[in-house]
Amino acid sequence: MTDLLAAPSTLPQERRLVTEVPGPRSRELMGRRNAAVSAGVSTTLPVFVERAGGGVLVDVDGNSFIDLGAGIAVVSVGNAAPAVVEAVQQQVAAFTHTCFMVTPYEGYVAVCEELARLTPGDHEKRSALFNTGAEAVENAVKIARHATGRQAVVAFDHAYHGRTNLTMALTAKNMPYKHRFGPFAPEVYRAPMSYPFRDAPGTTGAEAASRAIAQIEAQVGTANVAAVLIEPIQGEGGFVVPASGFLPALADWCRQAGAVFVADEVQTGFCRTGDWFACEHEGVVPDLIATAKGIAGGMPLGAVTGRAEVMDAVHGGGLGGTYGGNPVACAAALAAIGTMRAQDLAGAARAIGDTMLPRLRALAERTPAIGDVRGRGAMVAVELVRPGTTEPDAELAGRVARACHAAGVVVLTAGTYGNVLRFLPPLVIGQDLLDEALDVLDEAFAAPMPPLTSRPPASPA
Ligand SMILES: *Cc1c(COP(=O)(O)O)cnc(C)c1O
């Protein structure tokens, strides 16, 4: 096991196209997919995957793609990471499920111990495990309401928190997440985000926080606020990095207001931004932290971790679920966390940022449509606009993404206006592969694909 924690993927780490994209076998499967799978489930890049590992995805036609999406920030340790595979195989052969609420098992407890060690703050902590990010966020809200006896939850412009009824209400963007799916859960309020590219020039984090807090106090009322919920760097919203001072000011306000400060680190957590958690960058200690995505190397797992007195406020049986903290997912999480530690994947994320941000800034210098380059660690993005304005250009984002896909690089779009290209490589991606992906991106901006007659599909999460 110790050796496996440092083991690389055995799959050749290369970009190699042997057919057009998508190839004939993928097109055939796409036909079956369209006849069997709901049209409500979208596809960013219609190539069917056969194998994946390290920084590549290999499709059923034998094409090998450089992966700058990591399954939306999930396979940070690499796809089919050797230690994760071994841990899953051992656990699945021992037992697959008991339901932790019926008869417990050690793996669940060990994951909660790791969460207590790794999350910010040295206070006493407890965790509860679930299956998805939305479930984690939803439970964080339940816990905050129960612990405070209050109902109002504050979320932010451009926020993404999931697709369940409560998390749809917390999510800001109508299409595709909310459109015609209402009515939404009540007692959810939206406050203005700190968005340096779109705020008045020079707006500080403290000023943006004052603006948000004034709105909360006036429209919700301090005494009604159970929780302030925020992504420390917004994910689906377009990798919006708030101005420094914004998050600490909100956390301070919560402390004074008796509200629970909840960090949704579902996308930012587990080394993605160059720290174990993005909140650490400004020394912010959330009361509750929701995690999922990168936690378990691709197995479904979500968690809420936080102050013991808040987490333990809930009556026995108030939290849980049949599958929450499934033993196979817990085994995968322990192996993924071990891999992050053994390979210093937080350091790897910082190195990825150190490669990508200067390259993207150089690209922006010669590309007037790139209005902003931002991000931290291995969570970086470019926002595309009509040159010289802040007017979003989603069409160009779609064209550049398609050009990258056609050239063998998986990139994702994001943003309330759909005009952001976001990059989330596996943290184990090799330097050569990353450099090559950036070359492809340069070429895609030099000659983006022709416009689509219909809109490109919206990004998945
Ligand atoms: C993806 C995401 C979620 C939802 O997670 P699911 O596992 O898809 O339910 C919630 N919050 C953030 C910040 C996310 O990026």
- DSSP for 112-178? HHHHHHHSS-SS-EEEEEESSHHHHHHHHHHHHHHHHT--EEEEETT----SSHHHHHH----TTTT
pLDDT at residue 457 in the model: 53
Q: Which pair of tokens denotes residue 264?
A: 């949704």
Answer for the pair 327, 107: CB distance below 8 angstroms, yes or no. Answer: yes
d(CA 38, CA 27): 17
Give start and end residues of each alpha helix (H) in 312-414. 327-342, 345-365, 394-406
Pick one of 3.20.20.70, 3.90.1150.10, 1.25.40.10, 3.60.110.10 as the CATH number of 2-77+344-446: 3.90.1150.10
Q: Is 371 helix (H, G, I), strand (E, B) or coil?
A: strand
* CB environment 47-56: b (16+ within 10 A), e (fewer): bbeeebbbbb
> What stretch(es) of the chain map to CATH 3.90.1150.10?
2-77+344-446
Q: What is the mean pLDDT of the chain?
A: 96
Answer for the pair 336, 350: CB distance below 8 angstroms, yes or no. Answer: no
- Encode pLDDT of 167-212 as tens digits: 999 999 999 999 999 999 999 999 999 999 999 999 999 999 999 9
Q: How far apart are the first and last CA of the chain?
A: 33
d(CA 391, CA 394): 10
The strand pairing partners of 48, in sequence order, are none
* pLDDT above 90 coverage of the chain, percent: 96
DSSP state of 295: G
Q: Report the atom number in ligand 1 closest to the C-alpha of 135.
A: 9
> What stretch(es) of the chain map to CATH 3.40.640.10?
84-342
Answer for the pair 382, 421: CB distance below 8 angstroms, yes or no. Answer: yes
Q: Between helices 327-342 and 106-118, what is the axis angle to 10°?
A: 40
User: CATH top-level class for 84-342?
Assistant: alpha beta
Residue to probe by mutation, ligand 1, list 163, 239, 267, most atoms within 8 Å of CB: 267
- The reply to whether the predicted model has a pTM over 0.75 is yes
- Encode pLDDT of 54-107 as tens digits: 999 999 999 999 999 999 999 999 999 999 999 999 999 999 999 999 999 999
Answer for the pair 215, 191: CB distance below 8 angstroms, yes or no. Answer: yes
d(CA 427, CA 418): 25
In 3D space, the residue among 282, 296, 280 whose CA is nearest the CA of residue 338 turns out to be 296
Ligand 1: does its nearest atom lie under 6 Å from the Cβ of 393?
no
Query: Does residue 458 carry a pLDDT above 70?
Result: no
Rounded to the nearest angstrom, the gap between the alpha carbon of residue 149 and the centroid of all alpha carbons in its chain is 30
**What is the pairing mode between strands 225-230 and 49-53?**
unpaired
Mean of the pLDDT values across residues 413-426?
98
d(CA 82, CA 39): 35
Q: Is 59 helix (H, G, I), strand (E, B) or coil?
A: strand
pLDDT at residue 128 in the model: 98
Mean of the pLDDT values across residues 306-318?
98
Ligand 1: does its nearest atom lie under 6 Å from the Cβ of 190?
no
Residue to probe by mutation, ligand 1, list 277, 293, 420, most atoms within 8 Å of CB: 293
In 3D space, the residue among 391, 396, 367, 371 whose CA is nearest the CA of residue 382 turns out to be 371
Residue to probe by mutation, ligand 1, list 160, 233, 304, most atoms within 8 Å of CB: 160
Ligand 1: does its nearest atom lie under 6 Å from the Cβ of 264?
yes
- DSSP for 218-272? HHT-GGGEEEEEE-SS-TTTT---PPTTHHHHHHHHHHHHT-EEEEE-TTTTTTT
- Encode pLDDT of 13-68 as tens digits: 999 999 999 999 999 999 999 999 999 999 999 999 999 999 999 999 999 999 99
Ligand 1: does its nearest atom lie under 6 Å from the Cβ of 162?
yes
Q: How close is the Cα of 296 to the center of ligand 1, in Å?
A: 14
pLDDT at residue 2 in the model: 65
d(CA 53, CA 121): 34
Mean of the pLDDT values across residues 388-399?
97
Q: How close is the Cα of 294 to the center of ligand 1, in Å?
A: 11
Answer for the pair 164, 332: CB distance below 8 angstroms, yes or no. Answer: no
d(CA 278, CA 161): 16
